[in-house]
Amino acid sequence: MTATIPVGFVPLIDAGPLIVAVEMGFDRAEGITLDLRRANSWSALRDMVSFGQVTAAQMLSPMPVATALGLGGAGAALAAVAVLSTNGEVVCVSAAMAKRLREAGHDFGFDDAHAAGRALIAAADGPLRIAVPFPFSMHAELLYHWLTALGLPAPSGIDIRTVPPPLMAAALAAGEIDACCVGEPWGSMAVERAVGALLLPGSAIWPGMPEKVLGVRADLADSDPEPLRALIRALWHAGQWLNDPRSRVTACEMLSGRDYLDVPTEVIDRALSGHLTISARGDSRVVPKFVDFGHFAPQQAHAAWIGGRLAARLGLDRGTSQAVARATYRTDLHENALQSIPGYTPEPASFERSFDGQNFTPLPPE
């Protein structure tokens, strides 16, 4: 008998590995059946995992860390057992802000975080109002990092607020926000509706940052049962398949299905190919590695970085927070699961530099 594993997801490009695992049958190849459940919010997914409605869920990479620090929610401790995607975010500015930026001479080059950030700061009329999908998200972390590195004082100069992605286009159109940082396809959808223009991909701020992880209850991770290992292997195969350019046409078709993202394949193709349409006038830019599904191992250094940033912003003890954060990213479990794949060699942990040259400095092992 195969075990059925209920797994939660939010309809986004980076739910790709979960959708592909089902559609391509990578789950059944590992002797399990994934039962995908769509959710409308990250908090709902977190609670569904905490209270056992689903075994695992796609999560924003800071979510297990935030939960461990007692920020938001009140349920069980969570663990990240795999990285589902890296980068894939876009910064999208309102039509009014795009006009101001263009008038000030910004070229929307889409690859220079210095130029884009300075232009945005210069065009700000009061604190920059930027929407993110969740308070504990890589979107929020990248924005704080990017804009403060360029000299914008936080919190006085930045007003980062949470707006559910389906409401972001309306918020941009109504002038309630100057910009948003969001995962695809929402940035492209704002462009399609002519309410915004894409200013910068997340990969231009800090390439290689984990965007979504597979989250489970920490007690499940501790017991490390075989079905969970099978799930990790199935998703690894799905990520490898998605990273292969030859899979793209098929992948776009699968993701666009009514049970999944329910948006035109052409819009999904933009993110998967990195050929993004950045304005309603049809200007396009090419971003190599806009989103990546191949950095599958959770790195404790990333968790510590997230924990340190949250601690600094919310007034928690930095050292303790980093230690607590590290423990939520289960690299060990991940390796245990993947070892049995024939020919699998662990990827060496590599950390890329931020746009401002800041190096990723993993803490020494405990």
Partner 1 sequence: MQRLLKITIVESDPARAALIEESLLRVGQYELNIVDDMTRLNSAIKEINPDIVLIDLDNPSRDALEELTLATAPLERPVALFVDQGDANLTKLAIEAGVSAYVVDGLRADRLKPILDAAVTRFNMFRQMRTELAATKRALEERKVIDRAKGILMKAKGIDEEAAYALLRRAAMDQGRKVGDVAEALVSTAGLLS
Is residue 49 helix, strand or coil? helix
- Look up residue 160 and give its two tokens: 């980062």
Chain CA centroid to CA 103, Å: 32
Judged by beta carbon, residue 43 or residue 148, the one nearer partner 1 is 43
- Look up residue 204 and give its two tokens: 């231009």
CB of 212 to partner 1, least distance (A): 15
CB of 331 to partner 1, least distance (A): 28
Judged by beta carbon, residue 28 or residue 161, the one nearer partner 1 is 161
CB of 217 to partner 1, least distance (A): 13
Judged by beta carbon, residue 75 or residue 264, the one nearer partner 1 is 75
Judged by beta carbon, residue 2 or residue 41, the one nearer partner 1 is 41
Q: Are 27 and 34 in contact (CB under 8 A)?
A: yes
- Give phi and psi for 82, each to the nearest 5: -160, 155
CB of 65 to partner 1, least distance (A): 14
Report d(CA 326, CA 313) in Å as an integer: 18
DSSP for 272-307, written as a single string: HHTEEE-STT--EEE-TTSEES---S--HHHHHHHH
Query: Going by C-beta distance under 8 Å and a sequence separation of 6 or more, which residues neighbour residue 256?
Result: 262, 263, 264, 265, 267, 268
CB of 169 to partner 1, least distance (A): 12
Report cis status (omega within 30 of 0) of the bond before 185: yes
Judged by beta carbon, residue 165 or residue 201, the one nearer partner 1 is 165
Tell me how far apart the 2 most distant CA atoms of the chain are, in Å: 64
Q: Tell me the β-bridge partners of 160.
A: 130
Judged by beta carbon, residue 7 or residue 238, the one nearer partner 1 is 7
Is residue 50 helix, strand or coil? helix
Measured CA distances, 32 to 20, 84, 328 (Å): 14, 18, 25
Give the single-character DSSP code of 329: B
Judged by beta carbon, residue 111 or residue 159, the one nearer partner 1 is 159
CB of 160 to partner 1, least distance (A): 9
Judged by beta carbon, residue 173 or residue 363, the one nearer partner 1 is 173
CB of 284 to partner 1, least distance (A): 29
**Footprint of partner 1 (CB under 8 A):** 39-44, 47-48, 51-53, 71-75, 133-135, 161-167, 170-171, 174, 176, 314
CB of 135 to partner 1, least distance (A): 5
Report d(CA 90, CA 64) in Å as an integer: 23
